[in-house]
Amino acid sequence: MKQIFIKRNEAIRLLIKNRATNTGAKSPRVPPAGSDIATAAALERLLLDVRAGRINEFHLDGDDGPHHIVITN
């Protein structure tokens, strides 16, 4: 597992990009459909928690395997 240290705004950008990719949407504002609902809901909750500063570490699957994201100030 690869460990990545990034700033909070970069983590938010990464989660928004991941959310758009997972839902297959061209815009992150398009709601998910079908079996993507659980994944989208988890990403939404994670995004809210990261924005609010309640979470400073999380795991995210990337193209080259799972990543451990650590948010720095």
Which pLDDT does position 24 carry in this prediction? 59
- Domains in the chain and their CATH numbers? 2-72 (1.10.150)
Query: CA-CA distance, 64 to 41, in Å (whole number)?
Result: 23
Which pLDDT does position 9 carry in this prediction? 96
pLDDT along the chain (73 residues), means of 10: 94 88 56 64 91 94 85 90
Q: Is the pTM of this model over 0.95?
A: no
Residue 33 · residue 57 · CB < 8 Å:
no
Query: Smallest Cα–Cα separation from 20: which of 31, 6, 8?
Result: 31
Which pLDDT does position 63 carry in this prediction? 74
